[in-house]
Every structure is written in C-alpha cells, then in structure tokens.
C-alpha cells in the first residue's frame, strides 16, 4: 500500500489509527482509519477515546507508519487506556522512527495561529493509498467544553476538523519550534432559525415546512491543561508527571 510522501517528516510525528482484521495467512487487513495518534516517548501515544473505541470494534487495532521503503507498514496496538471525562486515551505500540514534540502548558489567547495535522478522510482504499492532511488557522475561543462532565478547558478553532483527524496534536509554533498545546477532538455546529414558512396542501392533507438557518461551524480541541492531571494506569502516574519526567513539557 502506498503512502503519500509529500510531507515525509509529518509521518514521524502523527500516525493513523486503523481498525482491521487478521487474514488467513496472518497479515493485517485494514478496514478504515478511525483517528490520529501522536507520540510521547517510550512507545506511548495519545489519541481520542472515541478513536480507540471505534478501532476496537474490529479484531485488531494498529498504527500505520512509513517504512524504510516509503510504503505503509502496521504495528499492532499492544494495550490501550481511555479517559471518558475528556475523550482522550493512551496507546502502546512500537514505531522506531516516531518523534515526540514538547508540550506547552501555558494557555494560549484568541487569534494565536495553530495547526492540526492528521489523517482526515485519510484512507483511500480504492487507490490503496493513505493520505495525510494539515489544517492551519487560529483560536477563536478559549473556554470550557460543557458537553463533557468535568467541563475541560478547550479551544474553538477557525477551521473544521474532519473525520479521521480526531486525536491529532494541536500545534503552536514559537521561534520555529513546534509545541503541542492540546489535541483535536472533532467539530461543533451551532445554528439559529432566521426564517421559516409552512405550506398546507389541503388536497393531499400534507404540510411542508421550509427553514433557513444561520450556522456556525468550528473545530474543537482540548487544551493541554485538561489532560495533564489525569491519572494513568499505563503510565503509573499522571500525564503531567510523565511529561515532566521525560522533559516534554515547557
């Protein structure tokens, strides 16, 4: 299977999370990409909880990576852990070439530029190709995400975050150094009705309603701080303690 190599360095930072089955000869047969994962050293990766759940509906969950020949290889996920309170999770898998970016604990203000890179609609099964996409924009809102029970700190983004990019790191670049300032979880849409009209078809006893809405679409990412205090069984400490131990947090 081919892998789009126009952004070769990105393949060392973010990895597609596949769900699939084992063939009769023991090979992995990918069914789809369910999200994106990124590395935090020692074979640990971060992604979304819903990514893990969706991939786990299949026989095998695996991460894809670019091998030495520039084509796609797979490594099976050995273990996973999810945190329902903020739709995040940790995976264990072995990819020798994976690289970890440092994390930024400081909360960013509105209008700071950020980037999300991952595998949005990234599995082109018809052409046997995996595609990586990157989105750049800015933070439009800094607040708390009320759809999760503990209302974690989050950012609204000026760009949409399509299916497959869930779990991708939210990257802020300062002095040419990329920092992880959060992770992408999906999209949100808010709308209001600005016009509506009903038409009554008496002859056929039918009513038709026409509605015109004004809608706001935006991407959603959780801030790094919403993740740091979570206690991990896999890491045997909090996420923040682990990142500090590995000198990954600034």
Q: Judging by DSSP bridges, how do beta strands 123-124 and 129-130 pair with one another?
A: antiparallel
* 3-class secondary-structure state, position 84: helix
Q: Judging by DSSP bridges, how do beta strands 177-201 and 44-48 pair with one another?
A: unpaired
State residue 159's pLDDT score: 94
State residue 5's pLDDT score: 55
198 with 207: CB under 8 angstroms? yes
- In the chain, what are the domains? 10-92 (2.40.10.10), 112-191+217-246 (2.40.10)
CA distances from 21 to 31, 130, 223, 233 (A): 7, 18, 34, 27
State residue 7's pLDDT score: 52
State residue 211's pLDDT score: 80
State residue 47's pLDDT score: 97
Q: Which candidate, 75, 56, 55, places its Cα nearest to that of 64?
A: 75
Residues 6+ apart with CB under 8 A from 166: 34, 35, 36, 47, 48, 50, 51, 118, 184, 185, 186
State residue 3's pLDDT score: 62
State residue 15's pLDDT score: 96
Q: What is the pTM of this model?
A: 0.88
**Tens of pLDDT, residue by residue, the chain (250 residues):** 656 555 547 889 999 999 999 998 888 999 999 999 999 999 999 999 999 999 999 999 999 998 878 788 999 999 999 999 889 999 999 999 899 999 998 999 999 999 999 999 999 888 878 999 999 999 999 999 988 888 999 999 999 999 999 999 999 999 999 999 999 998 887 767 777 888 887 777 888 888 887 777 789 999 999 999 999 999 999 999 999 999 999 8
State residue 193's pLDDT score: 79
């Amino acid at each position: 299977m081919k892998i789009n190599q126009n952004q070769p360095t990105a393949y060392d930072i973010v990895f597609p999370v596949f769900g699939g089955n084992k063939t009769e000869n023991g090979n992995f047969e990918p069914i789809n990409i369910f999200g994106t994962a990124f590395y935090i050293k020692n074979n640990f990766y971060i992604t979304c909880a819903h990514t893990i759940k969706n991939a786990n509906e299949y026989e095998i969950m695996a991460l894809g990576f670019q091998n030495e020949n520039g084509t796609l290889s797979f490594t099976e996920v050995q273990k996973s852990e999810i945190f329902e309170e903020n739709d995040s999770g940790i995976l264990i898998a072995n990819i020798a070439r994976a690289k970890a970016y440092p994390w930024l604990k400081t909360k960013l203000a509105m209008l700071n530029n950020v980037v999300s890179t991952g595998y949005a609609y990234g599995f082109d099964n018809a052409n046997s190709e995996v595609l990586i996409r990157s989105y750049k924009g800015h933070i439009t809102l800094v607040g708390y995400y009320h759809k999760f029970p503990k209302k974690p700190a989050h950012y609204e983004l000026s760009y949409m975050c399509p299916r497959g990019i869930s779990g991708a790191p939210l990257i802020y670049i300062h002095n040419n150094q990329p920092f992880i300032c959060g992770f992408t979880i999906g999209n949100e849409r808010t709308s209001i009705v600005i016009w509506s009209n009903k038409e009554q078809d008496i002859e056929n006893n039918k009513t038709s309603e026409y509605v015109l809405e004004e809608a706001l679409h935006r991407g959603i990412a959780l801030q790094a701080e919403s993740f740091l205090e979570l206690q991990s069984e896999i890491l045997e400490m909090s996420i923040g303690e682990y990142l500090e131990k590995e000198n990954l947090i600034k």
